[in-house]
Each structure stands twice: as C-alpha cells, then as structure tokens.
Structure 1
Amino acid sequence: MDRVQSVLAKGHQLTTAPEQSRHLYRQMRLIREFEEHCLEMALAGEIVGGMHPYIGQEAVAVGVSANLGRDDVITSTHRGHGHVLAKGAEPKRALAELYGATTGLNRGRGGSMHAADVGLGIYGANGIVGAGAPIAVGAAWAARRAGRDQVAVAFFGDGALSQGVVLEAFNMAALWSLPVLFVCENNGYAISLPVDRGLAGDPVRRAAGFGLHSAAVDGMDVEAVADAAGQAVAACRDGAGPHFLECTTYRFHAHHTVEYLAGIAYRDDAEVADWKTLDPLVRQRARLPEATADAVDAEIAALIAEAAEFARSSPAPEPGNALDYLYAGMAPSRPGVVV
C-alpha cells in the first residue's frame, strides 16, 4: 500500500495531444489483449513452456517506445512481449513465435523469452537477467562509431540492479558518454523477493553514482512515462550521455505461469487489488472520449483474434531442420565434425 500511495503522490499533468493519447492507449490495449490471450493459451498447454505475463506494466514499454524511431535499438527481458510489440513487431508473427511456428518472428526458434526483430531495432528479449544492458551499450557504441543518430534502450527489472553485468554496463556507458537509456521496471519483486529485502539503497541514487542522469517516474501512467522518456531520449540523442529511468510499476499476474500450476503464493490479494486501482489502461482510457476508446478496443480484439488464428494454423518446424539458423553463418563441415 505504501508503494501505491507513493505512485499516486507523484501525479502527472496531461501534456500530450489527443491523437497521441489515443495512440498510447491503443498500444497498451494491444499488449494487454495479446498477453491475456497468451496467458490463456499457455495455461491450456497451447504455448509450451509457459510465459511471463506483462499485464499491468504496459505503460512502461509503450511510454518509452513512443519516443523511439525505427532505427533506435531496444533490448528486452524474459518478460519481453510488451517491449517487442511496443517497438512495432507484427502481433501475428509475435504470437506465432510463442507458438513455436515457422511463421514467427524467429521461425519459432526464439520462443517467448528470445523474440527479436533486428530490422525493427529489437535486439531481442533475453532469458538471462540483465543481459540486455551490455548489448544495448554495444549497440550504442557501434552506432556512434558509424556516425548514426541512434539511441539504445535497455529494459530490465529491479532484480537486475545488483547483477554485475548491469553495473558494468552503467560504468562503460558513462565512461564513454554513450546514447543509452537504461529503463528499470521496478515491479516490487524479483520473482518472489520483495525489493526492500533484495536491494540496498535507492535505484535512482545507485545509477547516479555511476554518473548517469537519473530520475524516477510513475510507471503506471503512460503519459508520465512518455514525457520522462521523451526528455531522456532527446538528451541522449543530443550527446548528453547515458540516462537512467526508474519506472515504479506492478505486474497483476504471476511471475510465470508455472506459479498457477504449482500453487505458489507470496502476495496477498489486498496488495494486488490496491495496485489494480492504478491500472494504466483504465487511467489512460479515462482521458479519451468513450467512443474513441470503444473503437480502439474493437479494433484490437479483432487484430488479436486474427493473430491467434494465424498462429494456430501455422506449421511447426521440421525436426530435421532443428539446427537451421543456429548460427549467422554455418561453419563448413570437416571430417568427423558435426556442425
């Protein structure tokens, strides 16, 4: 409850134009509808291996990505569907990827935790905690070396804030003044470990200690995130060096669908209910004319229904082709060596 009150106290003054407000709501509705369908499919066994639902955190992915161009780069997490969709991935191909189909973003090889689309600047979701941070730093360094006007964004959770490779990425980005925005989605839990029991100090001060321009924002308000991220992205692009944005948010569902099957519980119902009063979709919908919001809802429902049918009707990879696309360029065969 204290974290909920802290978020409410930050407040936000509406600054975006009506069309932008509609776009932000549409993108969040897309992610919510996608995730709810995927959750249902995973629990039914249609999506093998389960998934990490992003439901509740949509404002972060959408608010940040609203400020990015096609050539800008993002790296994501094990909870990455929202980031991938917000950056522009086609919903039906994203769902087909989770389904393990050849029509997926990565021909069914990436699955839920490793979906990518390099052509859209999506350098991949990642099952390793914090692993996207150094990849984003590398992308930013490469872009600057090539004289390209690009910003790289690394999304990660509060559980990654003590991961050594993330802190090394902070250090390198600051040392070389790279155009990187580090976005911490602080949802209060590292799986089941509360943030106040797993993290010493304050995330913003920790990042500032490395020389990053650091700020915190209400991650349950997409317009607040869009404003804060817009300032940070513009500063990165103008050569002001790396930035860090802590987005206080909350996931409404389990860390992973296996929690439902195993009966794992570490949050009480009252806590979840309190956070649902800050549902980012409800808050953004209230800023739109009802007819506009209803039209968006109908459009997205049809889009996701089409995506689900596309995934279900797409072919699975042939077992004999399991090693295809394993490497960018397969090494030539040598006697006695299987590649």
Structure 2
Amino acid sequence: MNKRILIVTQDIGDEYTQKIKNLVPDWELIVGKEKDIWAPYANKAEIIAGWKKELEELSLHGRSELRWVQAWSAGVNTMPLDKLNSQGITLTSANGVHAYPISETIIGLMLALTRKIHTYVKNQQERKWHHAHMNLEMHGKTIGIIGVGEIGSETAKLAKAFGMRVLGVRHSGKAEENVDRMYTPDELHQVLPECDYVVITLPLTPQTFQMFGEKEFKLMKKSSFLINIGRGEIIKEEELVVALQSGEIAGAGLDVFSKEPLEVESPLWDMDNVIITPHTSGSTEYYTKRVIENIFLPNLVHYLDGKQLPTNLVDYTKGY
C-alpha cells in the first residue's frame, strides 16, 4: 500500500521535522526548500505546507490527491484560489504569524517619520548637523487602522501605549479592545479626515484593490502620514506619488508596492518624506516556529481526526 505523502517546501530544521513526523509516523514526509527535493512527490501529495508557483502544474490536475494546503504567508492572493476551490482543497493561511514583527515595523515607521529619524540618518552619512525642522510628536494623536485583524489589533495595543486615539475599519464592524471606535469599509471616508496616521493592514481582494487613490488622499490631513504594510495594489501608486509631491499628505512608510521589486525609476526612492522597506515587515526569527507550532501542528491534529481545521481556514468567497 502506498504511503500518504506530506510535503513541507521549507527548510524547517530537525526539531520541527520530528514534531511533524511524530504525528504522521506512517506517512512519507518530504522536507526541503529546493524544488528537486519535493517536485517528484508533488503529484501524489495529500498535504503541502508552503505553496510554490510550480505546484499549480504539478499538483492541481485530474489525478491530484491534494486535500490541504498550508500557505507560508498570510496573504493568499497570488495562489490559484479558483482551482483550489473547484477541486475541494482546504486552504489555511499563516495569518497571525506576523502580528508582532509587522506591528513593530508600523510603529517604527510612524516614529521615524514623526521624529525624522530617516532624515537624521542621511545627515549622519553626510556629517551634517541640522535640526531638520523637528517638531512633531505621536502622543495624543489619532491613528486609523484600516483592517483590524491580528496585525491591526496588536498595532492598536501599541498605539495605546503612546496615548493615541485609535479608530479602526473592519469588514464586520465588530468592536475590538484598544480601538476607540470601529467603522465598516463603506465608512472609510468618515475616518480619513480624523487621522494623523493612516495604517493599511488589509489583504488584497477584489474589494480592496485600488481602494486608496486621489479622493482618499485629499480627504486625509495635509499633516498626516500613510503606512502601508498590506499589499501595494491596494493603493493607486501614481496617485500616491502626486499626493506626496503636492503636499496632500505629509509622508509615507511603504513596505509593499504595486510591482516588486520597486522599479529603480520610481520617484518614491528620492522623496525625503518617504521611507521604503523591501516587503520585509513580517520577517522574524520566529516565523517557522509560529507557522509550525501555532498553526500547522494544531490543524494537522484535526485533519488526522477528520475534523474541520480550526486555525486560519481561508474563505474562498472572501479571498482570505
């Protein structure tokens, strides 16, 4: 009888490999980042943890035995959701893994823009002693968190440490601890004029695609800062450039872009009021630990018992 196959397309180390093996001792467990390691088994795999674009051709066909995919990222918008859905394949995301590192990045970008840290780093490189017209504080200001999930909730908690007023936007409109007032997406235009900081933590879906453009930037305060760690396509990038150049908004901290890597010709690179990070806000030394221990292993236990997976089950109708 052929063994059931579980593939992990990541280098997770001996400790986590053994923890998985302990749950599926009779399965064939394939672990490794290189394609040569997992590709020969892809067409027979029942579970795949860590999606690669090559797997669409290798795994999603008429003979596929695939039943569950554990994404290695919180966002699943680049995956073949329609094919996965049509074949009845369960999909879980890595949502929640990023709450600490990304909320730290958000606060870091807010502080850097407010206290001109990025400007002072440039001045240091030029050995230039200059005040740079420093005059802003974060304490007591208003932050609008557009997308209050795991990351947004953690950001709200940190913002409260600065005595900030926290406004939130989420699809359900459900209240959240540390959020002073919650809104729904159709109330976004009510939120923007009140905010000193607008933080986008949304997934990319048909509803959030190009959600922010000229109209939204004009509604924001001229003194406000925009932080985007969601997805670049949520913003109309050319209109953001105009808003930054014209002074419609004061500045931006951007970790994601419509096209990545950000093209060298982009005017965003040369703007003094912009901080760019290369889609690294979720990078953390604990990434593998959190995906395996907090999401994959608990879900695997339920899968083996024939139960619905309890953690981060993706709703194909919503796209997240």
TM bin, normalised by shorter chain, reads 0.3 to 0.5
Q: TM-score, normalised by structure 2?
A: 0.32
Larger radius of gyration: 2
Q: Which protein, 1 or 2, shows the higher relative CO under an 8 Å CA cutoff with sep ≥ 6?
A: 1
Q: TM-score, normalised by structure 1?
A: 0.31
Normalized per residue, the structure richer in strand is 2
Normalized per residue, the structure richer in helix is 1
